[in-house]
Chain A
């Protein structure tokens, strides 16, 4: 049966080649869009891992790179004291430029146990950072004042990095790195993965370290936990307070909630635009397929009439036509899958293979459903052909 259908398809290879090409390109477009959607969806399902309500971020220009580190530490102490004297300010922490939803990345590479990870997001933090963002500690502890002197720089890592470097073994208290002994970092705690760049992004690997006196001159951001209900009036007051204590800096205040909105848009807008375009393309293809199949069936009235005359049921006629389309779609899917499967095999864009495979499966199902829907109605029409009428036309 199938072999016979292949013969029928082969006999009209020119016409079918075009249909095949159309299905193939649709399949590839679907695969691309589904990959993106699956990626975002999987990220969206992961827990946020941090709180951003009532957290404000202060950005200021560093103008004091010429002052010594010690006087800078003093200076920040004064600034922080001034801020904390305001009743609505709960706590303050300096932060590197990659504070949550900032769309800025600072990554380091570390080799440990012959495993090389080149993209570890590194955050400069202070003792109150974890409580401001409500990062959840799983093991060990967060930084405290005692960490100011150390032999190996203390760091807190996230669960993903822990799993990668230490598996299920002991992590807290271990040294991380493979360089000189004093360059290794000492792990003091593990926190839950936090989506630091927005709800649709992957937490990735993260490492938190305490701002040290050498790095303090490069810091240009502060995170602030404020009391609920702090309004614009308070913000203006806060701004004045800052401008007075940091005379030589330009200051900007923003809320993490606002930052999250724009960080999410960064993912959502392309996603929505692509989905709309993809939907239109698919509707277009569906209409085209439908039209062509319908027309072909009208042309094959003679053949169908003959089959009915020698005793085929209407059911088997429509099954034949639908199967023909499904076979054609299968060819497109096989060729398309050959291209698509290269993505997880070659590890393109460093995405987990699961994303590509899910997208591949979705695309295959979608193409079949599409072809099925487009060929069902013409198939039913063909089944309704009266053999006498069809043969009479001949």
Chain B
């Protein structure tokens, strides 16, 4: 039966090539846009290098002090994370790292702009950076204030050129010679809490990390023993924040959250409105419009095409085919059309992603078509096919037999 439908569908597609072209163009292009967008989102939110333990991690990247007339919000101080957050009972480990800042280094009169980040030892335990050579710096090295660094493969290439192992060699940044102790695979800049070109022990930071204010230049990642511990940690964190002493008379309330990855990622740093809703709303409206136009277009085209087949429908009805069978047939036909369009869209997506990767728009961000993107593409195809197929099919099934045959 399905095979028959398939044959009929192909025959119909060949009948009016111009209409077929319009339908396929609409479907494939819409899908391309959605797939490229999905690839971006999947890469930014779905790719879990180097935080492979994302499901049992909580992210802290903001503290806000609010009073009647004043408000101060930003990253946290090292002291706050080290003193208050590390004293929590439930988390197994707390990774502490600074935001990334830029500096320059010069090799043979060639400038290299690089971003550096200060971290503690747990940072390397909580995150699973892939070490191409060497290993991370240890707690002991940090305590001794040794000038050691972990660098990214990209910096290795631009600073040392294409040579073998660079462990033990020195890299100059900020007029200081650091000994390389490890080289890691690049992290995309979109993971702003983890990304850096070179990682340094926090004790060699030129910025005073002993100050006891709450705000500073650091973020934290809490690691839970298991996924089940996450709510308990959040509870404990909130209780700790609630008990914090105010640092100034100006402020009456302190907000800070240990968020799961997505929530932490889109948090705008404003307590009054969460970033999640805004981000989702904007994305939703965009997708809706992108989908609505081609769908309407398809519905229009499908209706005209169905009416062309009124004689075929009349004959089938006259011989006793029920409306539901006809509707089913037409929806299947439409799904076949959308899936063909989807395949074309997939090819176009692959081409576009190739060019985006070639252009290197965002540092270290390499897009790829993975099974997630494919799955979403397939799902969109189905939704698309159903949306644009149901109404015309319903119109068709209500055709009166006599009229349908008379039209010839």
The verdict on A389 contacting chain B, using a C-beta distance below 8 Å, is no
The CA of A22 and the CA of B388, in the complex, are separated in Å by 13
For window 75-129 of A, CB contacts with B under 8 Å fall at: none
A63 touching B25 by the CB < 8 A rule?
Answer: no
Shortest CB-to-CB span from B284 to chain A, Å, is 15
Contact check, A248 vs B206: say whether CB atoms are below 8 A apart.
Answer: yes
Q: Cβ of A312 < 8 Å from any Cβ of B? A: no
Nearest Cβ in chain A — how far from B22, in angstroms?
4
B308: which A residues are within 8 A, CB to CB? Answer: 295
- Among the listed B106, B289, B301, B361, which residue makes an inter-chain contact with A235, where contact means beta carbons less than 8 Å apart? B106
Given A25-B293, A250-B116, A250-B174, A288-B111 contact (CB < 8 Å): no
**Is B296 part of the contact surface with A, judged by Cβ < 8 Å?**
yes
B102 CB-CB contact with A under 8 Å: yes
Is B69 among interface residues, defined by CB-CB distance under 8 A? no
Contacts of A239 in B (CB 8 A): 104, 106, 175
With an 8 Å Cβ cutoff, the count of chain B residues facing the other chain is 40
Main secondary structure of the interface of A (DSSP, over half): helix
Residue of A21, A232, A254 touching B110 (CB-CB under 8 A): A232
- When chains A and B are docked, how far (Å) is the Cα of A29 from the Cα of B102? 40
The answer to whether B174 touches A251, judged by C-beta atoms less than 8 angstroms apart, is yes
- Residues of A with C-beta under 8 A to B30: 284
Measured between beta carbons, the chain A residues less than 8 angstroms from B116 are 250
Q: What is the CB-to-nearest-CB distance from B335 to chain A, in angstroms, rounded to a whole number? A: 20
Point out the residue from B18, B109, B175, B299 that lies within 8 Å of A291, measured CB to CB.
B18
- Closest residue to A283 on the B side, CB-wise? B25
Any B CB within 8 A of the CB of A361: no
Which residues 78-121 of B sit at the A interface, judged by CB distance below 8 A? 101-104, 106, 109-111, 113, 116
- A158 interface contact, C-beta 8 A: no
Residue A252, interface by CB 8 Å: yes
Q: Tell me which of B174, B290, B298, B303 has the highest count of chain A C-beta atoms within 10 A of its own C-beta.
A: B174
Residues of A within 8 A of B206 (CB): 61, 63, 248-250
Query: B207–A295 contact, CB under 8 A?
Result: no
Contact of A26 among B33, B175, B293 (CB under 8 A): B293
| A22→B300 contact, CB < 8 A | yes
* A285 sits at the interface (CB 8 A): yes
Instruction: Tell me whether A8 is interfacial, beta carbon within 8 Å.
Output: no
Asked whether A151 is an interface residue with its Cβ less than 8 Å from the other chain, the reply is no
Report chain B residues within 8 Å CB of A248.
206
Q: For the complex, is A73 an interface residue (Cβ under 8 Å from B)?
A: no
The count of A-to-B residue pairs whose CB atoms sit within 8 angstroms is 109
- CB contact list, B306-344 vs A, under 8 A: 307-308
Closest residue to A62 on the B side, CB-wise? B207
Q: Mark B374-405, 1 if CB is under 8 A from A, else 0.
A: 00000000000000000000000000000000
B159 within 8 A of A: no
* Among candidates B22, B102, B299, B304, residue contacting A287 with C-beta atoms closer than 8 Å: B22
The 8 Å CB contact of A284, one of B25, B110, B303, is B25
Whether A236 lies near B111 (C-beta < 8 A) is: yes
Chain A minimum-CB-distance residue to B109: A233
B136: Cβ under 8 A from any A Cβ: no
Task: Provide the residues of chain B in CB contact with A283, threshold 8 Å.
Answer: 25
Check A292 for interface membership: any CB of B closer than 8 A. Answer: yes
Q: Does A6 sit at the interface, judged by CB under 8 A?
A: no
The reply to whether B300 and A236 contact each other, CB–CB distance below 8 Å, is no
Decide yes or no whether A135 CB sits under 8 A from chain B: no
A201 to chain B, nearest CB (A): 21
Q: Shortest beta-carbon distance, B347 to chain A, in Å?
A: 16
CA distance A292 to B292 in the complex (A): 18
Residues of B within 8 A of A21 (CB): 296
1/0 contact string of A1-40 vs chain B (CB within 8 Å): 0000000000000010011011001101100000000000
Query: Which 3 A-B residue pairings sit nearest by Cβ, starting from the closest?
Result: A243-B175, A288-B297, A236-B106
A-B contact pairs, 6 of them (CB 8 A): A18-B296, A232-B106, A250-B103, A252-B101, A288-B22, A288-B301
